[in-house]
A and B are shown apart, each in its own frame.
Chain A
Amino acid sequence: MIATLALAAPTRLVHLSAVDMIIVGFYFVLVLAIGFYLKERANTGEDFFMAGREMTAWIAGLSFLSANLGALELMGWAAAAYQYGILATHWYWIGAIPAMLLLGIIMMPFYYISKTHSVPGYLKLRYGESSRGLAAVSFAFMTVLMSGINMFSMALIMKVVLGWDINFSILVSSITVAIYVTLGGLRSAIFNEVLQFILIWAGALLIPILGLVEAGGWDNLKTRITQNASVEYTHLWSTTGSFSGNPMGIHWTGIVFGLAFVISCGYWTTDFLVVQRVLAAKDLRAAKMAPIIGAAFKMFVPFIVILPGLLGIALLPFKLVPESAVQPGMHSYNEVLPLMLARYCAPGLLGLGITALIAGFMSGMAGNVSAFATVWTYDIYRAFFKKDGTDKHYVQMGRWCTIGGVVISIATAYGVMHFKSIMDYVQALFSFFIAPLLGTILLGMFWKRSTSAGGFWGLLAGTLSSVCMFVWVKLDPTALRYVALSPHARDMAENMYRALWSWIICVVVTVVVSYLTKPKLVSELNGLVYGVTEIPSEAQVPIYERPLFWAAIVGIVFVILNILFW
């Protein structure tokens, strides 16, 4: 494989030496070895789809975070930090931490006690088959699209950075993921995600450390950013009082209600890609601790993602430009992370940095594929096509589905090459499916009166309204003033507000339809709804072992960080 890797295309940002190639090659060998080692432990449905529900809090927590730390995440948000400054950090702090704590402390007990194997599975228990079907189909659709987008982004990065052929990158990475997930199921995906998490940190952490040394510390870095861009690039909240006062064109209401409440809570608490990792925890306490551990690490991810973007503003001797404006000899925002990597990393370190990017891609893809296999097999195939299959049959279906998911992802990767802005597309998908699903799940968990019909029609109305708003603004850009409340709002702000509207529409329709239809008996809601579910007491557990105690610590650090960078 290393010999094939060496057949690189003529244009590239960095050149890998022999030692770099060995490091990249060793990574592929190790992830495949883990897949083969775990093959014998993936024989039952519970093993293959739920990793035997025996993960410790640490493993589930790191995997929970790693599944989200894909190539788009690393490269995309470093680019966003170069483009928008420190405002991009909102997607890691207020756009993640409160939602992760909400999942751990409030919502996890219902997912875990109900013993569901998936988020659509919870909807089946709470609302019935129609809501489960709608959520499962939209999740499966979104997941393979996301996987394809992630795959294409990775191949593009490898082409720009290393000059590798796009087809070669797509095939090698996706076949590797297909092999280790097909062999070892969710357990293999989780184990590799933990390994990938460590490699991402080991490979990327040196950039901010050396960057801060070169810049002369944080204060000097801020001074340089102010000189090269503007002072607004260094403030997290103080510039968000108006749409036009900050580089992102976003108002604080969009950040708090659109991002923190709807998009973030929707993603971190209902997207089965991440929730599946926590459902694999060995007991309720581990399941509650896993998102809290994930949140603690998430707070520090900006150090390896946002800071390199800011260092690019301060230290690179040339300006980066949008992808659409790149001329020969110029670089786009998306190249800021590899440019910083090439700036500091000599042979060996460069190989580890490139491995970190590949690991990020593969963890994201494995997450998508394993979640897709579970939802397809349990929530679509078993629910609608073959209800009476044996456990062995469903495991076999899961393995084929993993391969099928990878093949569809590859097709999607080639499909998205025709789209102008991939990030637009990704954010739009979230607002279509995730935002309304949050409304359905929250009402299901915390309102006894919500009915099966209410849940289904609310979810459908929220999803359709989001798609309609997206199409409306595409056909008539002046509609932005209605959807995002300001003609000055930019793409990010539009996504926030569209998500907020679709959530509101979902909640309103669910409430209205629920009042018009017959509620379920309280006895049918045991284990599913707050107020009729007995949650195990933690009174006998020492305070330092209680999830609530650690959630409070994480919450306090989160508040301090926001004040520090206000």
Chain B
Amino acid sequence: MTMKPGGSISIWFFIGISLLVNGLLIAGAGIYQYLYPPALENQVHLFHLHAGIWWGGLLFVLGVIYCYHFNPFRSENKG
């Protein structure tokens, strides 16, 4: 099944870019908060789970997979 009706760049490539950039920013912010935790009264609930790191990491990995798989410059994705 083709995933790129409408042009040579698949919509899934755009989604990959979005996940990759957002994942990077969220994981980065999570790591920063892990290294420099805010004051206790400013912490969100379940802060100790550091959701930003693993959720951002997950989005980043998915973004890398999508960007690679639907990369318009890969030979099998051209046209």
CB A353 to nearest CB in B, in angstroms, measures 10
CB 8 Å contact bits of A347-361 with B (1 = contact, 0 = none): 111011001000000
A329-356 interface with B by 8 A CB criterion: 342-349, 351-352, 355
Beyond the given A54-B6, A187-B6, A191-B11, please list 18 additional residue pairs across the A-B interface where CB-CB is below 8 A.
A26-B21, A51-B6, A55-B5, A59-B5, A191-B14, A194-B15, A195-B18, A202-B59, A206-B51, A210-B51, A343-B45, A344-B44, A344-B45, A345-B44, A346-B47, A348-B29, A348-B52, A349-B52
Find chain B residues with CB under 8 A from A343 CB. 44-45
Number of B residues contacting the other chain (C-beta, 8 Å)? 33
Q: Is the CB of A23 within 8 A of B5?
A: no
- Residues of A within 8 Å of B18, CB to CB, are 26-27, 30, 195, 198-199
Tell me the smallest distance from the CB of B69 to a CB of chain A, in Å.
14
Could you say which residues of chain B place their CB within 8 Å of the CB of A27?
A: 18
Interface string of A24-37 (1 = CB under 8 A from B): 00110010011001
- Among A37, A59, A342, the most chain B Cβ lie within 10 Å of the Cβ of A59
Residues in chain A near residue B1, CB distance under 8 A: 56-58
* Measured CA separation A345–B52 after assembly (Å): 8
**Residue of B whose beta carbon sits closest to that of A17:** B29
What are 7 A-B interface contacts by the 8 Å CB criterion? Answer: A23-B22, A23-B25, A41-B6, A187-B6, A213-B46, A282-B5, A348-B25
A79 to B25, CA, bound (A): 30
- The answer to whether B5 touches A348, judged by C-beta atoms less than 8 angstroms apart, is no
- A346 and B5 contact, Cβ closer than 8 Å, known pairs A195-B11, A202-B22, A210-B46: no
Known contacts: A194-B15, A195-B18. The answer to whether A344 contacts B51 by CB under 8 A is yes
Q: Does B55 contact A (CB under 8 A)?
A: yes
A317 to chain B, nearest CB (A): 11
B9 CB-CB contact with A under 8 Å:
yes
Judged by a CB distance under 8 angstroms, whether A38 is at the interface is yes
A346, B33: Cβ atoms under 8 Å? yes
Q: Which residues of B contact A30 (CB under 8 A)?
A: 14, 17-18
Q: B35-48 interface mask toward A, CB cutoff 8 Å, 1 = contact, 0 = none?
A: 00000000111110
B75 at the binding interface (Cβ < 8 Å):
no
Check: A504 CB closer than 8 A to any chain B CB: no
Best-buried of B25, B27, B47 by chain A (most CB within 10 Å): B25
CB distance from A32 to the nearest CB of B (A): 12
Contact assessment for A19 and B28 in the assembled complex, using a CB-CB cutoff below 8 Å: yes
Contacts of B55 in A (CB 8 A): 206, 349
Interface residues of A in 1-52 (CB under 8 A from B): 17, 19, 22-23, 26-27, 30, 33-34, 37-38, 41, 51-52
The 8 closest A-B pairs by CB, nearest first: A348-B29, A348-B26, A54-B5, A19-B29, A191-B11, A347-B29, A187-B6, A346-B44
> Whole-angstrom distance between the alpha carbons of A54 and B7 in the complex?
11
B3 touching A210, Cβ below 8 Å: no
Compute how far the CA of A546 lies from the CA of B30 in the bound complex, rounded to whole angstroms: 45
One of B5, B9, B44 near A37 (C-beta < 8 A) = B9
